[in-house]
Amino acid sequence: MKVIFKHMVSGFIGNADDMIYYYDPRLGRVLARRKPRVKATARNYAFGNTIKNIMSIHPSPAYKDDLMSYAERCYNTPLFKGVRPLWNNLYMKIMFAMQKDYPGMDLNTLSRADIIDLALPCRTVSNAVAAGYLPEVRNWQELTAAL
């Protein structure tokens, strides 16, 4: 819903009264929506623990730059102009796609040493593209920074 501010407030972004206020750059105005009420379940905690473990591997800055370069090459369309894609979305996509190829692998216990020892395809972006985890883009072979 559109928000109209009174009393000389030019804009508010944040949470207040079970509502979330945010600025939409496409519309050029502040919008509001209800704060979602999510029930805590065992599955939510399990998924959260998996994400925490994947992020605890701490990819190198060069690997992150390769993911950003891949994202800019892949999603450089008018829809995404001005929006900087996040590297972690592609990182998660690679990890979960890799889990499908290696059914015995558990992302809850995966470590950097396991990735290196088993020579898993997620070590570089170019290996992930070659394995089919990400679609091919121009010059994807150049993205060889190690995890």
Tell which phi-psi region holds residue 53, choosing left (phi > 0), alpha (psi between -120 and 50) or beta.
alpha
Q: What is the mean pLDDT of residues 3-28?
A: 73
Q: Give the pLDDT confidence score for residue 6 in this predicted structure.
A: 61
**11-28 average pLDDT score:** 79
In this prediction, residues 26-45 reach a mean pLDDT of 87
- With cut-offs at 50, 70 and 90, classify the pLDDT of residue 28: confident
**Structure confidence at residue 112 (pLDDT):** 92
Confidence (pTM): 0.72
Stronger pLDDT, 56 or 81, i.e. the higher one:
56
- Give which of 20, 92, 2 is closest to 53, Cα–Cα: 92
| pLDDT at position 68 | 87
Q: Which of 147, 129, 144 is nearest to 57 (CA)?
A: 147
Q: Which residue has the higher pLDDT, 92 or 87?
A: 92
Enumerate residues 6+ apart whose C-beta is below 8 A from 130.
121
Average pLDDT over residues 64-88: 75
